[in-house]
Amino acid sequence: MELKVYQNKVKVAEEFSKYLIQKSDTQKAFHIALSGGSTPKIVFDVLAEQFSTDVDWKNIHLYWGDERCVAPTDDESNYKMTVEHLISKVDIPEENFHRIKGENDPKEEAKRYGELLDKELPKALGLPQFDLVILGMGDDGHTASIFPHEINLWVSPDNCEVAIHPESGQRRVSLTGRIINNAKTVAFLVTGESKAEKVKIIIDREEGYLEYPASHVAPKTKDLVWFLDAAAAKLLTSSQS
């Protein structure tokens, strides 16, 4: 596991953009699972506005790690956010992005998307393999849309599951642990003081850390990188950050 700590959200966004450019510069299809949330929004803005010509978008294939069960025009939609902050600003072919259809019946969509991954992604150890999975982490330690109250979904035998937001009751379709941990690389994008306590508990494996889904992110390749701002990393000892 590697920790990369930067002064603020914009610096995290700039440095992650450079990291993504370096990782995806392979002249062949690069499959990414995107996250929702406020941190990726800033990353997408910076990537689109400062680095769009540095990425060979025809080789980039975008998927989502989770999606709210809402229409693609709904302000809650991760797809809508990604279109507004990234897709609409870069020259990525229409056939290169594959949204989770939040307007569909959740169970049927979880099945459909799971089958899409089986069909479209390269395989490793018999499972679909992303080149890069981008994850956020909620204040409660959730990641993708696997929440602490449904942590059993992490070990689902399926590629995708239907989850329920603990406060709003909103249904979501989420990748499960078997796909996330089969990725070549997983990058957390975590910023803000509200994350500091869980970042410390999870990274230091403090008592009770396994209650938090984010602590179960452990790619088999061991290629796990945390991009943190100083606020989210403030409780880590200096040797770690």
Ligand X SMILES: O=C(O)[C@H](O)[C@@H](O)[C@H](O)[C@H](O)COP(=O)(O)O
Residues within the interface to ligand X (CB under 6 A) = 35-39, 66, 78, 136-138, 142-145
Q: Which is nearer to ligand X, 26 or 38 (by Cβ)?
A: 38
In the complex, the smallest distance separating the C-beta of residue 51 from ligand X, rounded to whole angstroms, is 20
CA distances from 177 to 23, 72, 110, 221 (A): 22, 25, 14, 14
In the complex, the smallest distance separating the C-beta of residue 30 from ligand X, rounded to whole angstroms, is 20
Q: 26-50 b/e with 16+ CB inside 10 Å = b?
A: eeeebbbbbbbbebbbbbbbbbbee
> At 174, which helix (H) or strand (E)?
strand 171-175
SS3 113: helix
Q: Which is nearer to ligand X, 137 or 183 (by Cβ)?
A: 137
What are φ and ψ of residue 15, in 5° steps?
-70, -35
**Encoded amino acid at 12, one letter:** V
Helix, strand, coil percentages (3-state) for the chain, rounded to 5, are 40, 20, 40
In the complex, the smallest distance separating the C-beta of residue 18 from ligand X, rounded to whole angstroms, is 20
Q: Which is nearer to ligand X, 114 or 213 (by Cβ)?
A: 213
In the complex, the smallest distance separating the C-beta of residue 34 from ligand X, rounded to whole angstroms, is 9
Q: Enter the DSSP assignment of 228.
A: E
**Which residue has the CB atom at the shortest distance from ligand X?**
136
Q: Are 214 and 174 in contact (CB under 8 A)?
A: no
Q: Which is nearer to ligand X, 121 or 228 (by Cβ)?
A: 228
- Tell the residue number behind the tokens 């204040």, with chain if given: 139
In the complex, the smallest distance separating the C-beta of residue 125 from ligand X, rounded to whole angstroms, is 25
In the complex, the smallest distance separating the C-beta of residue 56 from ligand X, rounded to whole angstroms, is 26
Q: Which is nearer to ligand X, 39 or 156 (by Cβ)?
A: 39
Q: Enter the DSSP assignment of 235.
A: T
Q: Which is nearer to ligand X, 75 or 207 (by Cβ)?
A: 75
Q: Which is nearer to ligand X, 120 or 193 (by Cβ)?
A: 193
In the complex, the smallest distance separating the C-beta of residue 92 from ligand X, rounded to whole angstroms, is 20
- Sorted by sequence, the CB contacts under 8 Å of residue 180 that are 6+ apart come out as 33, 65, 133, 135, 143, 144, 186, 217, 219
